[in-house]
Structure 1
């Protein structure tokens, strides 16, 4: 028949199929197979992509067509040379700068959120760090709170030179904390402004206003106790040997570097071998401060400082009020040759005896010198406590010269 073909299967069965040009196309070989019997292909619909081959003669399943493998991406092989040490150093420096910038942003965020250094922040960490508050101010927390109540009983007791917004947001306890913070550690105004979140001028106004206020308030107090109180609280050894010595005096110096040559000659101290400011300090045998003079130039002698400081006028007033009696005495170093001035007031002076030239001191004078030196250590302890405030321990800057007497008296 025209258009017919004889096809032999694998089982030997002769099959005649009509070749149809529109019949299914074999997906494997791409040829026209014509109309084949259905049993020769799975699904009886002819060859498919999954089953492109006819069923095997033994009836076994036809093998599924394996999908073409996916194209693998070849890893790019870098042909770049490793960076040189200078490049690595620059990268490390850039990373370090980025970390510091991030840290500064976090600090700025904390400041904006209200976590500013001050009274409250230190009190919160007082339990974790022992004596933290005393480290910053030199006072225990309870004494500090009592000082705040004495100095600032109301909110309007401090008058600042300029009314600033950043000053108004600080409480009185924070302002006093700022003042003591600078006195204790001698931090600069820029550092304080950064710590407390203030402008530079605002920090200066707070410090100066509180120094003046403290000087005014403490100047009204009577710090010289009655002689009976001094005697009752004397140490046993001191009371046994010098029971009528009511006060121990000595001079001390703080370093100052003026710019003018004339002031340098006036402030030069032979004892310090440098320019300095000197003053007179007195305490009782219990190491309580009783007298502080104003500061004088370093070239002034101890006797002149005692005369010009008002010390003799104070003793005269105390004698009139009964705080001292005739026959009471004071204790001083050899440089304070003020025995004649005290005798005019009816008082006495104990100083170490002078050794005559060309001969040794007698055993009695040596013993007296040792006794006086043993008890004069109390005034040295007072001076040491004052010098713990580093603003007077280091060289006084010229910017503080205008109110250095107020700072020293405090």
Structure 2
């Protein structure tokens, strides 16, 4: 009498089980990277939109149903990254390029002009700290601001952006402390409005 015993199914080896787990984890990892990339793109888009809309932090927080602190964190983390990516757009031009591309009107009137300078003010929320509030108050804008020195070339390209200064700081002081003067060479001409002559 012969017994037909069904063969016992082979148990998957530890090796096969590990390979399946690794494959599954790789797929999950790839999906997470795809999702992370999408979220980073959305985050960048959101930051750009928020900056373009020029809302205050509390308004953005209300619209997105997030805390004001989260809005500040997003902007504080995002803006330096955005600045780093766009940094290549702001370069001090070499003298040959300036002369070669100088508009005719400048060649006739200001042949040695390398920059037209102005200070650009950006509104900020009123600081809670009294000293910061005083340092950022702009009598010109009647608001708390930060100021940047932004020179452009005769062709209109931005050639330098200074660090931020409080709105109370005079254009002349910003020019002296920003590092801009170190870029200039002997006999360079710079065009500026009367604000740069005040103390």
Query: TM-score scaled by structure 2?
Result: 0.64
- Which runs of no fewer than 5 residues in structure 1 stay unpaired? 1-163, 320-325, 339-410
Structure 1 distance, partners of 2:130, 2:78, is 32
The residue number in structure 1 matching 2:96 is: 228
8 A Cα contact 1:282 1:290, kept in partner: yes
Pick from 156, 162, 178 the counterpart of residue 46 of structure 2.
Answer: 178
The residue number in structure 1 matching 2:153 is: 284
Deviation at 1:237, TM superposition (A): 1.7
Pick from 126, 132, 141 the counterpart of residue 272 of structure 1.
Answer: 141
Query: TM-score scaled by structure 1?
Result: 0.34
CA gap of 1:332–1:178, structure 2 versus 1, over 3 A, is same
Deviation at 1:179, TM superposition (A): 2.2
Higher RCO (CA 8 Å, separation ≥ 6 residues): 2
Pick from 242, 245, 248 the counterpart of residue 113 of structure 2.
Answer: 245
CA gap of 1:260–1:219, structure 2 versus 1, over 3 A, is same
Pick from 70, 77, 84 the counterpart of residue 209 of structure 1.
Answer: 77
- Which runs of no fewer than 5 residues in structure 2 stay unpaired? 1-31
Q: Deviations over 1:154-193 (max 9, x none)?
A: xxxxxxxxxx99x7372543332222112211351443x4
1:254 is aligned to 2:119? no
**How many correspondences in the alignment?**
161
Deviation at 1:203, TM superposition (A): 6.9
The residue number in structure 1 matching 2:27 is: none
Q: Deviations over 1:100-136 (max 9, x none)?
A: xxxxxxxxxxxxxxxxxxxxxxxxxxxxxxxxxxxxx
The residue number in structure 2 matching 1:301 is: 170
Deviation at 1:289, TM superposition (A): 0.7
The residue number in structure 2 matching 1:331 is: 191
Higher CA-based Rg: 1
What is the root-mean-square deviation in Å for CA atoms of aligned residues? 3.4
Deviation at 1:263, TM superposition (A): 3.1
1:340-359 counterparts in 2 under 5 A? none
Q: Identify, as 1 or 2, the structure richer in helix.
A: 2
8 A Cα contact 1:247 1:330, kept in partner: yes
